[in-house]
């Protein structure tokens, strides 16, 4: 790292918040996509907005690339460090600055953990809706960068739909604010919040975020249905949609995922099922009960060989624990795995699953399927052993075929993980050369030195060699999972 840059950093940070020793940098070498590992030049740990602003301005002036990082749970390598660049760790900016239950808003710093918001507002009968499966550790800053989703996106949207206002520092050091405390957000003029959210850290750093809160549902009704083939579970999703119901979540797991989750959590899943569908309704009690009666009728007609309704909050929690833990559970069956999060139109889920089966046979690798069926968001889990020569490359090739299939079927290469490092080379499959050029021009207009999260999103950037082996430590503990 450039000596004069480092000396300037020392004027902003005391020694204990400017990490440079190998042992201190080690935890920052990768995020939840452990396939990529790079050592940053240094890690700065700001505790105030001013320190972030000073740091970004310094980076801009001295043309040093930086990566902002929350808890490092990105599944697309979005918070991978830049070799010899600066990592800005935002976890210490973890204050909820304001809760206004009557207006249903919270104002938070970027390092606040997603779930901590719900925990802080639960006493008011409210919650923060986006629920990525790593919500117990992932931060709002990271959720903003990657427009994180979760199991309940169909009805209430992704992170972007829950951000009303922001104060940000752009990559050239410009500090600006947009949006408001109104539920309309920006409301008049272009929706800058919508542009910033999901920009993968390429525009700058969010300093303060105003979030929309939701009233906690009065009642949840959750049902599991077991099928003897995946296609039938997929068809049931279409039947539910055709009935005019709008469930909060619809999830499908295949045999491998069911078995692994059951072994790990004991969620009460039927082990003889080829596919398990979980449907959840939530809202005002009277309305939910009426909808549930209708849903029950649809499921009974769907050819499920076993139907089970959650009869208590504990039972509901167990069903979801199994579902949310499915990834790490499957992961334990294999030394390594890759997860994709491509999207297909919901009505083409069956077709997509058949094709994934064909890819599986072609590459002779196991693939487990867990997906947000309500919005067509696949999460195929490709199992391989990184110690076998060529195994990772084979898994990567299979993953690539799945992404290409998603685009061919009219979907997207990512529903919620973002492009990051992992899918950079696939971006041109979704966007034309003109569209890519415009996005790159936009990035350069905002960040002329291309210092913010350099090398991410766009194809052709510098990339470290893939060196995947083993699960992320948090993944091994079941704290985070790759969905």
Q: Which of residues 219-278 bind another protein (CB under 8 A)?
A: 238, 241-242, 244-246
> Does 147 engage in binding with another protein (CB under 8 A)?
yes
**Contacts of another protein in 399-418 (CB under 8 A):** 410-418
Q: How far is the CB of 78 from another protein (least distance, A)?
A: 11
Nearer to another protein, 35 or 193 (CB): 193
Alpha-carbon distance 13 to 330, whole Å? Answer: 42
Spatial contact of 237 and 373, defined as CB atoms under 8 Å apart: yes
Tokens of 160: 């972007």
Q: How far is the CB of 212 from another protein (least distance, A)?
A: 9
> Does 203 engage in binding with another protein (CB under 8 A)?
yes
**Contacts of another protein in 177-196 (CB under 8 A):** 178, 180-196
Q: How far is the CB of 477 from another protein (least distance, A)?
A: 26
Q: To the nearest 10°, the Cα dihedral for 165, 324, 339, 482? A: 50
> Does 198 engage in binding with another protein (CB under 8 A)?
yes
Give every CB contact of residue 279 below 8 A, 6+ residues apart in sequence: 222, 223, 225, 240, 247, 249, 250, 295, 299
Stretch that binds another protein, among 3-11, 281-289, 359-367, 466-474 (CB under 8 A): 281-289
Nearer to another protein, 214 or 479 (CB): 214
Spatial contact of 483 and 379, defined as CB atoms under 8 Å apart: yes
Tokens of 286: 């009277």
Nearer to another protein, 102 or 314 (CB): 102
Q: How far is the CB of 333 from another protein (least distance, A)?
A: 27
> Does 381 engage in binding with another protein (CB under 8 A)?
no
> Does 218 engage in binding with another protein (CB under 8 A)?
yes
> Does 459 engage in binding with another protein (CB under 8 A)?
no
**Contacts of another protein in 110-139 (CB under 8 A):** 124-126
Q: How far is the CB of 379 from another protein (least distance, A)?
A: 12
Alpha-carbon distance 276 to 258, whole Å? Answer: 7
Nearer to another protein, 2 or 287 (CB): 287
Nearer to another protein, 41 or 376 (CB): 376
Nearer to another protein, 38 or 453 (CB): 453
Q: How far is the CB of 301 from another protein (least distance, A)?
A: 17
Q: Find the binder of another protein among 377, 386, 405, 472 (CB under 8 A).
A: 377
Nearer to another protein, 188 or 465 (CB): 188
> Does 53 engage in binding with another protein (CB under 8 A)?
no
Q: How far is the CB of 433 from another protein (least distance, A)?
A: 10
**Contacts of another protein in 151-170 (CB under 8 A):** 153-158, 160-161, 168, 170
Among 75, 35, 32, 33, smallest CA distance to 467 is for 35
Stretch that binds another protein, among 1-9, 43-51, 84-92, 373-381 (CB under 8 A): 373-381
> Does 428 engage in binding with another protein (CB under 8 A)?
no
Stretch that binds another protein, among 1-9, 29-37, 102-110, 355-363 (CB under 8 A): 102-110
> Does 316 engage in binding with another protein (CB under 8 A)?
no
Q: How far is the CB of 136 from another protein (least distance, A)?
A: 21
**Contacts of another protein in 439-458 (CB under 8 A):** 439, 441-443, 445-446, 457
Tokens of 126: 């409210």
Q: How many residues interact with another protein (rule CB under 8 A)?
A: 98
Q: How far is the CB of 343 from another protein (least distance, A)?
A: 5
Q: How far is the CB of 98 from another protein (least distance, A)?
A: 11
**Contacts of another protein in 324-353 (CB under 8 A):** 343-347
């Amino acid at each position: 790292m450039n000596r004069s840059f480092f000396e300037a950093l020392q004027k902003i940070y005391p020694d204990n918040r400017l990490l440079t020793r190998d042992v201190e940098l080690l935890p920052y070498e990768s995020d939840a996509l452990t396939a990529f590992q790079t050592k940053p030049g240094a890690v700065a740990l700001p505790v105030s907005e001013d320190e972030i602003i000073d740091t970004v301005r310094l980076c801009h002036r001295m043309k040093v690339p930086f990566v902002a990082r929350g808890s490092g749970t990105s599944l697309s390598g979005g918070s991978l460090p830049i070799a010899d660049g600066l990592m800005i760790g935002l976890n210490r900016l973890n204050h909820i600055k304001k809760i206004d239950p009557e207006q249903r808003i919270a104002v938070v710093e970027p390092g606040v953990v997603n779930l901590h918001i719900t925990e802080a507002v639960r006493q008011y009968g409210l919650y923060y809706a986006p629920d990525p499966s790593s919500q117990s550790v992932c931060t709002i800053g990271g959720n903003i960068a990657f427009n994180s989703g979760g199991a309940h996106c169909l009805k209430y949207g992704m992170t972007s739909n829950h951000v009303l206002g922001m104060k940000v520092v752009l990559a050239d050091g410009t500090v600006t604010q947009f949006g408001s405390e109104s539920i309309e957000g920006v409301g008049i003029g272009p929706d800058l919040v919508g542009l910033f959210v999901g920009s993968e850290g390429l525009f700058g750093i969010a300093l303060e975020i105003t979030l929309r809160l939701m009233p906690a549902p009065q009642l949840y009704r959750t049902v599991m249905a077991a099928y003897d083939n995946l296609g039938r579970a997929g068809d049931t999703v279409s039947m539910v949609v055709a009935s005019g119901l709008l469930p909060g979540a619809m999830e499908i797991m295949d045999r491998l995922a069911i078995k692994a989750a059951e072994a790990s959590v004991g969620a009460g899943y039927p082990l003889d099922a080829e596919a398990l569908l979980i449907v959840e309704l939530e809202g005002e009690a009277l309305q939910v009960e009426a909808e549930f009666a209708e849903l029950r009728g649809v499921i009974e007609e769907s050819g499920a060989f076993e139907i089970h309704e959650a009869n208590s909050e504990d039972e509901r929690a167990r069903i979801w624990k199994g579902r949310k833990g499915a990834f790490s559970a499957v992961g334990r069956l294999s030394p390594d795995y890759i997860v994709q999060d491509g999207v297909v139109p919901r009505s083409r889920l069956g077709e997509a699953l058949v094709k994934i089966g064909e890819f599986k046979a072609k590459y002779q690798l196991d693939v487990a399927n867990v997906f947000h069926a309500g919005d067509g968001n696949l999460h195929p889990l490709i199992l391989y052993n990184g110690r076998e020569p060529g195994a990772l490359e084979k898994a990567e090739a299979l993953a690539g075929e799945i992404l290409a299939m998603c685009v061919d079927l009219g979907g997207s290469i990512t529903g919620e993980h973002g492009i990051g490092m992992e899918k950079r080379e696939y971006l041109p499959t979704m966007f034309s050369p003109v569209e890519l050029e415009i996005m790159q021009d936009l990035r350069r207009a905002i960040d002329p030195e291309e210092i913010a999260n350099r090398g991410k999103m766009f194809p052709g950037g510098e990339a470290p060699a893939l060196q995947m082996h083993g699960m992320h430590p948090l993944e091994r503990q079941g704290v985070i999972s790759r969905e």
